[in-house]
Amino acid sequence: MKKIFTGMMFLLSVFGLSAQQNKVSLIPQPVELQVMNGSWTLTGSASVGYNKSEGRKVAEMLAQQLNQPTGFKISAKQGTTAAIQLNLNATADAKLGTEGYTLVSGAKGVVITANQPAGLFYGMQTLLQLLPKEIESRKAVKASWTVPAVKITDYPRFAWRGLMLDVSRHFFTKEEVKRYIDEMVRFKYNTFHWHLTDDNGWRVEIKSLPKLTEVGAWRVERHGQFGSRLDPKPGEPATYGGFYTHEDIREIVQYAMDRHVTIVPEIDVPGHSMAAIAAYPELSCTKNPNTMVNPGTNFAEWYGNGTFRMFIENTLNPSDEKVYEFLDKVFTELAQLFPSPYIHVGGDECYKGFWKNDKGCQDLMKKLNIRHVEDLQGYFMNRVEKILTDKGKKLLGWDEILEGGISPGATVMSWRSMAGGIEAAHMGHDVVMTPTSHCYIDYVQGEVTIEPPIYASLRMKKSYSLNPVPEGVDAKHILGGQGNLWTEQVATLRHAEYMTWPRGWALAEVFWTPDEKKNWENFVKRVEHQFTRSDVGEVKYSKAIYDAIIRTRMKDGKLWVEMEPEAPGLDIYYTTDGGMPDHYSPKYSQSFEIPDGPVTLRVITYRNGAPIGHLITLKPADLKARAE
């Protein structure tokens, strides 16, 4: 009987531990996580304590975030005996670094310990994820505010964990930018790359160059997909757009700094400068006074091999000294507004055709003794870097800045593939990995016939598979990585959220968690848990992981279909007889041949006997196109 009793107690403890582990769902996954028996419940009598004055801001922020959904009046106070205690180490723990933390929760409360306030802040984010989903509510709700007993030791894999938001193609308000930052920090991102200028709008006030916002921040209003919109009409008013004043910038920068986020501003030059040229046409080669901020029309021809031709000039003139005087004014004000050590200067997709035909550029090439017009970009970038260095800033640019030569101190953001980053790292440059193959979260994330259209696709599983340190590269040169959200097709914050999450959660884990601790199936379970929390927090996200991946191929003149789920545990059902599929329809198990004739394929996914994915309908032309 004693053995039976002991065995029963063991089984109960195992089941109890398993139940507790199911309650712990964190993104990104911590370095070390131990789930124990027991829990602690937050009540209105609790307080948030901090042992050193440097922890006060985080403690106050945590108290505020707890009070909103609970309706409590929890306060922050200096001391060492609070139910939620934030402690800064007297002697730094080398393992934790500047952003790591430990979190221990149990029957008496929660203790978060770190070397720096940033570590306390990230420990706070973990604590919020340990609480029930109702903690995400924007108003007071009733819930059992229970925290499971855990021991966590956690620190980031990379120092640079970023997301980029393009506000040129569509302007996002000051409050929208703040909300996007709030959503980022929940998943321990620490860098906000702010794409402020492009062909479609100049978004930052430069007081010494007022036309940049008087003219460059506004365009004629157009609707529909970028690249297919109508050109501006003569005399048509430019009413769509906006910009951030110096006061707006300072407010957002401080807001980000309070949340341990560095904002890296981008002024995209010498290409992607049509908004600047619309304001100051004399900065271009053609000096066309009729240049307007582009509203999303097609102004380039792409040849499919990375080369292209511009119909309208959008490139600054590298041979004109006035251009460098202009940039000096821009970067002087920018350097005063942004404490970031980096200023991103773009450098991508710079069309050299107008340079090739410009006398001033040809004269400069002779003076520099260079034969190829492409080398003028290297000259331009070195001039820009000198301007930035004089202002105490480091140059950061897309991987095209490697073309034509850059100084050893320049930092490269590798976007076209991993190859640019590998080349840059081998040359001794610091690198931020952000390849289109894994990090372009403006790409279609699911079934192309359902999702908002764009020219390429990127599934969450692909994002999750990224390893920013390629084989053979010295890891010391890889600062980290980031996801990029270009907004040609993204006009609202809700749409921006939809495109960012859940792929942004995948990248958050890539940048924080050790690569060997990543597990796709486990991650999907945590993503699904985060779906429910996002619902409470009114954050929009995509459920594309529930949609079947459908491919077709031709074999012996016949069309064959191959399908697979992205999320584990899904069943795929389909019809080819004109009926609507359900769980009584044929269940996909292996590739199959499409019958001859005008056959439409319909596909849906189920889990545990219930539909979960979108209905996908592919007509004969769609099926054949996928095989090409």
Q: Residue 4: is its pLDDT beyond 90? A: no
Q: How many domains does the chain have?
A: 3
Token readout for 555 is 């074999």
CATH of the domain at 194: 3.20.20.80
CB under 8 Å to 341, separation ≥6 — which residues?
Answer: 393, 394
**The domain that contains 82 carries what CATH number?**
3.30.379.10
DSSP structure string for 171-227: ---HHHHHHHHHHHHTTT--EEEEE-EETTEE-B--TT-THHHHTTTEE----S-TT
pTM attached to this predicted model:
0.95
For residue 561, give the CATH number of its domain. Answer: 2.60.40
| In-domain check, residue 282 | yes
pLDDT tens digits for range 394-437: 999 999 999 877 888 899 999 999 999 999 999 999 999 999 99
Catalytic positions, please?
A: 198, 272, 349
Q: Specify whether 369 is located in the same domain as 505.
A: yes
Q: Are residues 244 and 320 in the same domain?
A: yes
- pLDDT at position 8, please? 46
Q: Yes or no: say if 11 and 124 are a contact pair by the CB < 8 Å rule.
A: no
Phi, psi of 254 (to 5 degrees): -65, -40
Dihedral of CA atoms 606, 608, 610, 613 in degrees, nearest 10, equals -30
612 is in which domain, residue-wise?
547-627
Express as a percent the part of the chain with pLDDT over 90.
93
Look-up of token digits 């009409």: 233
Among the candidates 544, 569, 602, a domain finishes at 544
Domain boundary among 112, 134, 154: 154
**Position 1 pLDDT exceeds 80:** no
- The reported pLDDT for the residue numbered 5 is 44
Q: Kindly state whether residue 577 falls inside one of the protein's structural domains.
A: yes
State the helix-helix crossing angle for 56-70 and 117-130, rounded to 10 degrees. 20
Q: Are residues 244 and 384 in the same domain?
A: yes
Task: Tell me if 525 is assigned to some domain.
Answer: yes
Give the C-alpha separation, 217 to 205, whole Å: 9
Residue 356 placed within a domain: yes
pLDDT at position 111 over 70: yes
**Residue 22: what pLDDT?**
56
pLDDT band for position 10 (cuts 50, 70, 90) = very low
φ, ψ dihedrals at 256, nearest 5°: -65, -45
Name beta bridge partners: 395. Answer: 343
Q: Is residue 8 part of a domain?
A: no
List residues bridging with 611 in a β-sheet.
606
Instruction: Give yes or no: residues 79 and 191 share one domain.
Output: no
User: Phi then psi for 95, rounded to 5 degrees?
Assistant: -65, -35
Q: How many CA atoms lie within 13 A of 290 on its CB side?
A: 7
Same domain, 176 and 304: yes
Q: Are residues 270 and 349 in the same domain?
A: yes
In the predicted structure, residue 617 carries a pLDDT above the cut 70: yes
Using an 8 Å Cβ cutoff, are 197 and 168 in contact? yes
Q: Are residues 305 and 290 in the same domain?
A: yes
Question: What integer pLDDT is reported at residue 21 of this predicted model?
Answer: 46
- The predicted-structure confidence for 220-259, as pLDDT tens digits, reads as follows 999 999 989 999 998 999 999 999 999 999 999 999 999 9
d(CA 54, CA 209): 40
**pLDDT band (50, 70, 90) for residue 67:** very high
Distance of alpha carbon 299 from alpha carbon 423, whole angstroms: 31
Q: Residue 6: helix, strand or coil by DSSP?
A: helix
User: Under DSSP, is residue 532 helix (H, G, I), strand (E, B) or coil?
Assistant: helix
- The answer as to whether 44 is a domain residue is yes
Residue 422 is classified by DSSP as: H
Report the interhelical angle of 493-500 vs 503-512 (nearest 10°).
50
Same domain for 254 and 296?
Answer: yes
| Cα distances (Å, whole numbers) of residue 99 to 85, 114, 192, 512 | 17, 8, 17, 11
Mean pLDDT in residue range 514-527? 97
Do 519 and 598 fall within a single domain?
A: no
Look at residue 4 and tell me if it is in a domain. Answer: no
Residue 12's pLDDT band, with cuts at 50, 70 and 90, is very low
Of 120, 154, 188, the position where a domain reaches its end is 154
Q: Does residue 535 sit in the same domain as residue 607?
A: no
Is pLDDT of 29 > 80? yes
Does 107 score more than 80 pLDDT? yes
User: Does the structure show a pLDDT above 90 at 322?
Assistant: yes
Evaluate whether residue 6 is within a structural domain: no
Q: 625 pLDDT exceeds 80? A: yes
User: 360 and 348 in one domain?
Assistant: yes
Share above pLDDT 70 across residues of the chain, in percent, rounded to a whole number: 96
**How does pLDDT run across 155-169, given as a tens digit for each residue?**
999 999 999 999 999
* Whether residues 483 and 365 fall in one domain: yes
Q: What are the pLDDT digits (tens) for 554-610? A: 999 999 999 999 999 999 999 999 999 999 999 999 999 999 999 999 999 999 999
